[in-house]
Structure 1
Amino acid sequence: MPQGVTAISHDVYHLHMLIFWICVVIGVVVFGVMFWSIYHHRKSRGAVPAQFHESTLVEVLWTIVPMMILIGMAVPATGTLVRMYDARDAELTIKVTGYQWRWQYDYLDDGVKFFSTLSTPQAQIRNLAPKGEHYLLEVDHPLVLPVGKKVRILTTAADVIHSWWVPELGWKKDAIPGFINEVWTQIEKPGIYRGQCAELCGRDHGFMPIVVKALPEAEFRQWLEQMKKDSTSQTAQNDSRAPIVPGGQTL
């Protein structure tokens, strides 16, 4: 499990390690007592099994002790889940829509929208060329996010259930047709982080990668302004190609 590049991913990692070591201690104690009992009370040493029916003390202990262990696990786990779902005060909101088999990213506050599609060459997929370092984990248009900013991410889908997952962010979120799921992230350092659709969504499920490019705030703003200009230019070109009908209106 990677430690990730967000506060939530760190919380998830430390929670995982805490639960892991609790389970290790329980395993050592239980199997230690079991093997010690098997060895020291074996038949060859003349051990005679004790004859008893019920023990109130044992009943109380094996009820209270597991309950306390579960409470000790639940408290930090609940705290992590509460922080994970607290998307308040986000500085940027992005809607992620899953399609068979690509992603659409919509910057709701800025009017920027584009598709992100697998860019691994077909020659590599068909084993006609050596596979690259990021085989099946590269796209034509990555999701670009600012470093140090709280980003609210809304996930949905247009056809079947998908799941948006980048391990370094510390969570995965289902994209379900007709529903909007909410999560957030705040990346701590610049870089490129890769993931995949984590829900079996059809024949080309394995060809639906996710690439997140985290940029410093200034570089992100430059990228966003350029995307706005490109979007405006594309809209103008589409309008100029619209056929003219009598009366001067465009279709």
Structure 2
Amino acid sequence: MICAKLAPLALAAAAASGFPAAQADSGWSQLNMPRGVTEISRKIYDLHMEIFWVCVAIAVVVFGAMIWSIITYRKSRGAIPDGTLVHNTKVEAIWTVVPVIILIAMAVPAARTLVEIEDTTRTELTIKVTGFQWGWNYDYLDQGVSYYSRLDRKSDAARELLSGIDPNTVEHYLLNVDHPLVVPVGTKVRLLVTAADVITCAPRRTSPPGSRTRPPSRSRRPHRPPRPR
């Protein structure tokens, strides 16, 4: 149930958070989701970390108890199983009530964040994002602007099998595109994310404070299908 609640959060985080401008590496920083630049994306990240540490604490307690029991009551130490203990009301009540409390404590902030994500009131800009394989089409609805963006050439070449290119030598590997999505600062933006062939995320660039942002093109361009593989 909780996983089902958090699945939309992961998708929203991918769309709402900005990708960090960092050199590609395989360190610990690549194992976690990035912290976003918007208020809602930061809430998603904080919720993600809170639930992560709750899961870590549960794992430590459960596996710690299991390992301690296995070591302490192993047969080599003369432990004899108790065949008379078949029911304990207090224990059953505890292992029922405690998980319910934990689930409620996790579900309440998750539901609150989901409500904020779905709140589209006072939206100032709506962008439809259509994903292709390594490509995205951006439609600024009610603005008459549409353009296609794909993975930058260096990353596209490095990801090819047997390309001979070390991805670590490519700046912002798999993060750069030729025409990034541009959104204004301090504006509530609604993203309508869909896909023509595969589900993918939408990289974007945030304009500096005080600047007026414009998409790269003012003319409507037709969708370009991804390059055949």
TM-fit CA distance, 1:44 = 4.8
* Contact preservation (8 Å) 1:144, 1:220: no
Unaligned 5+ residue runs, structure 2? 1-31, 222-229
* Contact preservation (8 Å) 2:127, 2:189: yes
Q: TM-score scaled by structure 2?
A: 0.66
Count the aligned residue pairs: 183
User: Which residue of structure 2 aligns with residue 237 of structure 1?
Assistant: none
Name which of 108, 114, 123 aligns with 1:81: 114
User: Which residue of structure 1 aligns with residue 197 of structure 2?
Assistant: 160
Q: Which has the higher contact order (CA 8 A, sep 6+)?
A: 2
Structure 2 SS opposite 1:220 = coil
TM-fit CA distance, 1:112 = 1.6
Matched residues in 2 for 1:123 and 1:161: separation?
20
Larger Rg belongs to: 1
Q: Which letter does structure 2 place at the counterpart of 1:161?
A: V
- Tell me the C-alpha RMSD between the 2 structures: 3.0
Q: Which letter does structure 2 place at the counterpart of 1:216?
A: P
Taking the TM superposition and a 5 Å limit, the aligned residue runs for 1:125-204 are 126-127=163-164, 131-157=169-195, 159-165=196-202
User: Which residue of structure 2 aligns with residue 5 of structure 1?
Assistant: 37
Going from structure 1 to structure 2, the CA distance change for 1:46 and 1:213 (only over 3 Å counts) comes to closer
* Contact preservation (8 Å) 1:120, 1:137: no
User: Which residue of structure 2 aligns with residue 213 of structure 1?
Assistant: 205
TM-fit CA distance, 1:58 = 2.1
Report runs of 4+ in structure 1 exceeding 6 Å deviation: none
Going from structure 1 to structure 2, the CA distance change for 1:218 and 1:36 (only over 3 Å counts) comes to closer
Q: TM-score scaled by structure 1?
A: 0.61
TM-fit CA distance, 1:227 = 4.4
Unaligned 5+ residue runs, structure 1? 166-209, 235-251
